[in-house]
Amino acid sequence: MDDLEDVKHESHLKMATEDFYRNQEKSYRNSEAYGRMTKLYPVLLTSIKQCEREKLVND
């Protein structure tokens, strides 16, 4: 996964772009760690799936 340190900022207080965070999400969901976590905690995976279609702020 990319580190926030690799993101270029005009100001140290500026957040990374939405695309950066969406790429982070894709990377994490395809990682071994995510796979292990969802196998250890199947209720978590069920909860994640139930929320997939929820409207998020500015989404």
In the chain, what are the domain boundaries? 9-51
At 48, list the tokens: 């994640």
Residues 6+ apart with CB under 8 A from 45: 38
- pLDDT tens profile 23-47: 998 999 899 999 999 899 999 888 8
Other CB atoms within 10 Å distance of the CB of residue 38: 16
- pLDDT tens profile 11-24: 555 678 888 888 99
Using DSSP, state whether 34 is helix, strand or coil.
Answer: helix
Residue 2 has pLDDT above 80, yes or no: no
